[in-house]
Structure 1
Amino acid sequence: MEAMWPRCLFLFFLLTCELSPEVVAEIQESSDDSPAPQEPVRLTDVPEAMEFIAAAEVALLGFFQDLEIPAVSIFRDVVRKFPDVAFGISTSPQVLAHYNLTGNTISLFRLVDNEQLDLVSEAIENIDANKLSRFIEINSLRLVTEYNPATVIGLFNSMVPVHLLLMMNKASPEYEESMHSYQKAAKLFQGKILFILVDSGIKENGKVISYFKLKTSELPALAIYRTFDEEWDTLPTAEVSVELVQNFCDGFLKGNGPRENDESEEKTQKVEL
C-alpha cells in the first residue's frame, strides 16, 4: 500500500490543477465541431471486430445480446459527441466470447496500452448519456493525450507507470512540426510510456510546469515521470525531434540519472496549490 502513495500524491496534485469553466466548456464543445457517423458500425464476426479495434486509437464497442434494451439507444446517441472515437456494435455470441464477455457490455479499447475497459451489465442497467460520455472522456487515452481535468484520471488509471510530458504552447509556430515528431516517437514506446501534451498557453497548466521546477523561459521542455517512485527528469529543448525524444526516454528507462522529487516539504506545498 505504501508504494501506491507517491502515485496517488501526484495524481492528487494534478487533480487540483482544475481548468476554468470556460476552458472545460471549450474542450467539451470541440468534440461537436467535426462531423461523425450517426450510427455505430455493425460487427458480425471476430476477425471483423479485431480489425475494427486495431485500426483505431480509441474504439468503443457495444456487445449486446438484445438491441431493444435502453442502453443501445444511449450508446447510439453519444456517437456524434466523439468524432475521434470509433463506435461499433456486435450481437454475435462468438465475438462476445472472444472478448471474455458473458452479457451486455460496453467496452473501450485503447491502442496506446492495449487496455480493454468494460462497463458490465450492472453498470449498463443504470447508464445514461452523461455517465457514458464521462466514461469515454476519462478513458480515451491516445498515442499522445492532451492533459485536461478529464484525461488526467485516465492517465493515472493506466497500468503504464512512466509518463512523458511535452510542455509547449500550442499557439507557437513550431507546434505542428514538434507534434509530428512527438507522435512518431510515441509509437516507438507504445505500452511502455504514456505521451502527454501540456499546453503551456493555458494559464492553469502552470502548476504542472512548476511541479517539475521549470520556468516559462525554459519551454518547450520534456519531463519524464515514473508514478510508483516519483523519479523524474526534465529536458528543455528548442527543437523536438524523434531522435531527441527517443534518447531521452531510453536514458530514463535505463536509469541514467533521473532526479527524484524527494523534498517532502516543498512537494507538499506544491500539492496544496
Structure 2
Amino acid sequence: LVWLLVLSLSWLGPALGSEEKEAEVVAEEEEDKVLSDELEEEDGVLVLHEHNFARALSEHQLLLVEFYAPWCGHCQQLAPAFAQAATTLRNESSPAWLGKVDAMAQTALASEFGITSYPTLKLFRDGNRTHPLAYTGRMDAEGIVRWMQRRVGPSAMLLQDTDTAATFITSQDLAVVGFFKDLGGEAAQVFYEVASEMVDLPFGVAQEAELFQEYGLLTDTVCLFKKFDERRTDFPMDKAQGLDVAKLTHQLRVHSLKLVMEFTNETTNEIFNAKIPHHMILFLNKSSSAQLALQDGFQAAAGTFRGEVLFVVVDVTGYGAEVLPFFGMTPADAPTLCLVKMENNRKYRMDQDSFSDVAIRTFIQAVLDGKVK
C-alpha cells in the first residue's frame, strides 16, 4: 500500500528526499572502546570512523562515503544496493571504493562535513578532505557503479576515425558526441564536465577533420544520436556564449526522451528527471485497438512543444492504473487527455470531442496562454 501511495503521488512532483535530522535528536554516546586506524569491511564496504578516516583517504584514490543514521529508512533501503555496488567495483578491480560512516556515532565527522540529512553521499578524491564532491547519481547499485566509473576513467571516449565513430554511435540507442576542433579548449572542458554527470548516456568526443566532414559539420557541435524519432539532434556551439553546463545538460535530457513516453516502472525516473514544466497525458486502454489509434494524433502534436510539454501515455489497465486515483479517474474514464502543470500540479482536462493533433495543439497552446481556467 505504501508503494502504491508513493506511485500515485508521482505527479505531485518526486520530492521524496532524504530524511531530515530533527534538531532535537541527539546522538547516542559512543561506547567506551578504543578504535584503531585499521580498515574493516562489511559486505565489501569500508566501515569508517574518526580514527581510520584519514587512512582510508590516503589509501584509496577514489572513495565514495555514505553518511547514514541507523534509524533512517532511506539508509536501510540503500544498504544492499550500496554493498552490491562495492562488490561490482571490486570485481572490476576498480580503484574506486565505497565506505560508510554512522553519523549518529561519529558526530565529529558528521559535523566536519556538514551532514544534516541521511543518507548523504560524498566522493573524496586523491586524499583531499576539504573539498569532497556531492554524489548526484541514482540511489541504486547500477547508478552508483556508473557514476563511479565515470570518475575513474575519461568521461568521454576519444573517437579518432570514421569506423570507430560509426561503431560507437550505432551500437547504442543513444549516444552523445562532441565535435571540437580544440579538445583542450573551454568548450570541450564543459562537455567533459557534462559527460561526467550524465552517467546514463554514453559520451564520445571527436577532433579529426574527417569526422567533421563525415557528419556534415563546420563548427564545434554537440550531436545527440538516437534510434528513434528524428534520429539526430545537433546543438551548435554559440561562439559568443560558448557552452553552458546547465543548458547543455537540460537539452540532452529533453532530447534523449522519446517525443511520446509511456509511463512504466522503467521510464518513471526519466520522465520526472527531465524537469519539463508541463505533462500532457493520454490515458488509454491498450487492449482497445480503437484507443491505441488515438496515439497517432498525440504523437503528431508532440514535436511542437518539445522541451515545454512532455507527452506521456498512461495505460489504465497496466502500470499506470496506480496513478488514476490522483487524477480522480477510473479505467472506465479512458480515453482521456489531461495537461498537468508540474509547478503546482494543476490539471486541465481536455474536451473529448476530438483527439486530432490540431485539437491537441490548440488546447495546449490555450492552456499555456492562460486562456483555459
Q: TM-score, normalised by structure 2?
A: 0.39
Name the residue aligned to 2:53.
none
Name the residue aligned to 1:217.
330
Matched residues in 1 for 2:223 and 2:157: separation?
14
Contact 2:14 2:272 in 1 (8 A): no
Q: TM-score, normalised by structure 1?
A: 0.51
CA change 1:131–1:202 in 2 (3 A) is: farther
Which of 167, 177, 202 in structure 2 is aligned with 1:86? 202
Q: Report whether the alignment pairs 1:101 with 2:224.
A: no
Letter in 1 for 2:174: V
Contact 1:165 1:224 in 2 (8 A): no
Alpha-carbon deviation of 1:98?
A: 1.4
Aligned pairs for 1:115-154 (under 5 A) are 115-122=231-238, 125-142=241-258, 145=261, 146=267, 147-148=271-272, 150=274
Q: Return 5+ residue gaps in structure 1 as ranges.
A: 1-17, 176-196, 207-214, 234-257
Question: CA offsets, 1:79-124, max 9 Å, x none?
Answer: 2322221111111211111111112111112221143222223168
Alpha-carbon deviation of 1:129?
A: 1.6
Matched residues in 1 for 2:198 and 2:332: separation?
31
Matched residues in 2 for 1:31 and 1:59: separation?
20
CA change 1:77–1:42 in 2 (3 A) is: same
Name the residue aligned to 1:111.
227
Name the residue aligned to 1:180.
none
Q: Report whether the alignment pairs 1:161 with 2:284.
A: no
CA change 1:219–1:151 in 2 (3 A) is: farther
SS in 2 for 1:96: helix
Q: Report whether the alignment pairs 1:51 with 2:167.
A: yes
Letter in 1 for 2:233: L
Identity value in percent: 20
Matched residues in 1 for 2:188 and 2:175: separation?
16
Alpha-carbon deviation of 1:48?
A: 2.1
Contact 1:166 1:198 in 2 (8 A): no
Decide which structure has greater helix share.
1
CA change 1:97–1:168 in 2 (3 A) is: same
Aligned pairs for 1:61-76 (under 5 A) are 61-76=177-192
Q: Report whether the alignment pairs 1:22 with 2:135.
A: no
SS in 1 for 2:15: helix
Contact 1:103 1:121 in 2 (8 A): yes
SS in 2 for 1:103: coil
CA change 1:222–1:87 in 2 (3 A) is: farther
RMSD: 4.8
SS in 2 for 1:118: strand
CA change 1:52–1:20 in 2 (3 A) is: same
Letter in 2 for 1:22: A
Question: CA offsets, 1:222-252, max 9 Å, x none?
Answer: 7799xxxx9528xxxxxxxxxxxxxxxxxxx
Contact 2:157 2:203 in 1 (8 A): yes
Q: Report whether the alignment pairs 1:60 with 2:176.
A: yes
SS in 2 for 1:134: helix
Q: How many residues align?
A: 188
Name the residue aligned to 2:93.
none
Matched residues in 2 for 1:202 and 1:123: separation?
50
Larger radius of gyration: 2
Letter in 2 for 1:218: P
Contact 2:260 2:312 in 1 (8 A): no
Contact 1:40 1:76 in 2 (8 A): yes
Letter in 2 for 1:119: F
SS in 2 for 1:200: helix
Matched residues in 2 for 1:24 and 1:69: separation?
37
Q: Return 5+ residue gaps in structure 2 as ranges.
A: 1-10, 19-134, 262-266, 281-298, 303-310, 339-352
Letter in 2 for 1:91: Q
